[in-house]
Amino acid sequence: FYHYGNPDVRPETANQFNVGLTYRLPSLSWLPNLEITADAYINQVKDKIVAIPYNMFVWTVVNLDKARMIGVDLTESATFNVGRRQQILLTGNYSYQRAEPRTRSQVTEYKKQIAYIPRHSGNVTVSYENPWVNLSVHTTAVSGRYATNNNNPDTRLGGYADVGLTAYRVFGLKGHDIELRGDLMNLLNRQYVVVARYPMPGRSWRITLKFTL
């Protein structure tokens, strides 16, 4: 961490407790795969490492003497047969995380949300796979966050949802695979911020050609 402003950062130690459930539906002709998982956890962390960007090149890295994380993670994966060699794939996940400094009750950071950690986040992807051109739409959503551990209202970053589209096709050529892929990012052209004072780009596109030996 020397180049991030703190050569004396200490390693984390943690007590972690987790309980989880997994449900898997027996395979059906039209629904060959359905799996749902749920996990709940609580972590007690000593010397929690927190990195806060001052700008895109200089970060402040500090230890929080004590921190506690309580969270829930949910995931879902399903495959639907909709025709000969045609499938719709639906995947998604959701996370709730309450991450709090727990060093001393007298300080302003006590029981506030740790900087840049959202309470709620998740994503959903729907893909249509077929013999012609595979299509996918994906959404990532994040709730509001703070750029400081004391959760000053002036440092609050708004939540956002980023939507993208993808089209791709894999071709065979003399025993090799060629993948042609096109991505349309930030479809709704929303101005959102991941790091304070550095807005992300608006709508953009990318074309990728990958050759596998």
pLDDT in tens, the chain (213 residues): 555 567 788 999 999 999 999 999 999 999 999 999 999 999 999 999 998 887 777 788 889 999 999 999 999 999 999 999 999 999 999 999 999 999 888 788 999 999 999 999 999 999 999 999 999 999 999 999 999 999 999 999 999 999 999 999 998 888 889 999 999 999 999 999 998 988 899 999 999 999 988
pTM of the complete model: 0.88
Note whether residue 2 is domain-resident: no
Nearest to 113 by CA among 59, 48, 57: 48
Residue 54 belongs to a domain: no
Position 114 scores a pLDDT of 96
Residue (of 126, 20, 125, 114) closest to 73 by Cα position? 20
- Is residue 53 domain-resident? no
Alpha carbon separation from 198 to 55, 148, 162 (Å, rounded): 8, 15, 16
In this structure, is residue 72 part of a structural domain? yes
Query: pLDDT value at position 103?
Result: 87
| The pLDDT value given to residue 4 | 58
Question: Is the distance from CB of 184 to CB of 139 less than 8 angstroms?
Answer: no
Query: In Å, how far are 6, 77, 151, 167, 210 from 2, measured between CA atoms?
Result: 6, 41, 27, 42, 37
Q: In the chain, how many domains are there? A: 1
* CA 61/CA 2 separation, integer angstroms: 9
Evaluate whether residue 101 is within a structural domain.
yes
Structure token digits, residue 7: 């050569």
Is 130 part of any domain?
A: yes
Distance CA 50, CA 142 (A): 19
Q: Is residue 182 part of a domain?
A: yes
Region of 58 please: left (phi>0), alpha (psi -120 to 50) or beta.
Answer: beta
Report CA-CA distances (Å) from 184 to 9, 55, 135, 137.
40, 27, 11, 10
pLDDT computed for residue 212 by the predictor: 87
The Cα 80–Cα 86 span in angstroms is 9
Look-up of token digits 């959404």: 139
For residue 117, being part of any structural domain is answered with yes
Return the pLDDT at 198. 87
Structural domain boundaries enclosing 96: 22-44+67-212
Which DSSP state fits 2? G
